[in-house]
Amino acid sequence: MNTAQANPTIMSSPFVAKDKFGPFRLKRLIVVLIYFTLAVAPGELGPLTRGLMVDAYVQVASFVAATLLLFYGAERVFNFDIGHSLQKAKGYQVPLAALLGSTPGCGGAVVVVAAYSSGNVGFGAVVAALTATMGDAAFLLIATRPDAALVVLPLSLVAGVVMGWTLDALKIGGPVAEASGQCELAPEVGRTRIKDYLYLAIALPGLVIGISQLAQVDLEAVYGDFMIWVGLTGTIVGLLIWSTSDLQAMTNAKDSPVTRMAEETSFITVWVIGAYLAFDYVVAYAGLDLKAMFNSIGVLLPMIGIIIGFIPGCGPQVLVSTFYINGLIPFSALMGNAISNDGDALFPAIALNPRVAMLATLYSAFPAVLLAYLFHFLAPGFMN
């Protein structure tokens, strides 16, 4: 996916402030300080927070790092130009766009949105990509519930292709000749930095621990304090990278695979940590029986998942996946959310063409409602 050559570039999000504090982005630094304060808090809060950070790193971040390094490494070795391929694909634009959207993370869908803004793909391709994408929540699902991911991701891909082809057949929408905004990728970092190599060095043992957990190895007995050291160190380095980064959605293709892996994994992990903390804090301190509360609204849960999917960004979607993984919501609600959510790809879409972004999101609601309620009524216990 050589985005630098094809020039399907990414617009800096107008929703993220540009304020800085030395090398840090001020708002991100505040988030890091909040995380730090929670991690060193007295009583039960500190140990709980540190344990959740270790879990987020071992269970999700290490797998994200391995996936991105493999993907970007292959891209660099084979010099594959996805933007050029989209432009030349003609009748295959829709399935190719859906395939890009279905890849974990938001990068593939963002590339399609940017290609649409320059007139290289049609409206059906944009809808296909946004329908197929699950955003960063896909990483969480793959790492913790691979069985569910094997159902959700292919179904989202098929839904995207069908929806995109249907809209193109009905001649709804069409290619845009000129972008309505000035686009740019995240600034090029240049050489691979020491902190990128450090992140890689920590991610490798983190991946080993994560695989051991999937194999149901007794982590305490085998790794002991080493697991805690790896998880917390990886989290600290990741927060440092994220708080000093200009990354909004996607890294610059000119950077090394190691840099791109470190930047994007850190970006994703911040959301995952937030979702882990939000869930466990509610369970531990609010005294709410979330499962009983969600069960009481029964038939509305899939629709609520779909509506949350309309919210731009990955944070709310990661939280929905966290609820599913912990058995609080049914598979039908996860399925609806996975199809309706557009992740971070919705930010550049709104910036470039708000009307198209709104329409594409609304069109994705049709397959989301259909599939979510098919599972809800015909297979209520499926994957729960």
pLDDT-based confidence at residue 24 (cuts at 50, 70, 90): low
Q: Percentage of the chain surpassing pLDDT 70?
A: 84
Residue 322 corresponds to which tokens in the numbers above? 């966290």
| 127 within domain boundaries | yes
Query: Cα(249)–Cα(103) distance, rounded to whole angstroms?
Result: 14
Looking at residue 253, its pLDDT comes to: 76
Which residue in 267, 273, 271 sits closest to 245, CA to CA? 267
pLDDT-based confidence at residue 234 (cuts at 50, 70, 90): very high
| 2 within domain boundaries | no
| 384 within domain boundaries | no
> Which residue did the predictor score with more confidence, 174 or 287?
287
Query: pTM of the full predicted structure?
Result: 0.70
| 7 within domain boundaries | no
Cβ-contact 183, 117 below 8 angstroms: yes
Cβ neighbourhood burial of 278 (10 Å; 0-12, 13-18, 19+)? middle
Count of structural domains, the chain: 1
Poorest-pLDDT segment among 17-21, 50-54, 92-96, 304-308 = 17-21
| 11 within domain boundaries | no
| 5 within domain boundaries | no
Query: Helix (H) and strand (E) counts for the chain?
Result: 20, 2
- What mean pLDDT, rounded, does the chain reach? 82
Q: Which residues contact 341 (CB under 8 A, 6 or more apart)?
A: 133, 134, 135, 137, 308, 309, 310, 311, 316, 317, 320
| 224 within domain boundaries | yes
| 74 within domain boundaries | yes
Q: What are phi and psi of 252, to 5 degrees?
A: -80, 130
Cβ-contact 253, 2 below 8 angstroms: yes
Cβ-contact 163, 339 below 8 angstroms: no
Which residue in 164, 147, 156 sits closest to 104, CA to CA? 156
Summarised one tens digit per residue, pLDDT across range 189-202 is 888 999 999 999 99
Residue 308 belongs to domain spanning: 22-378
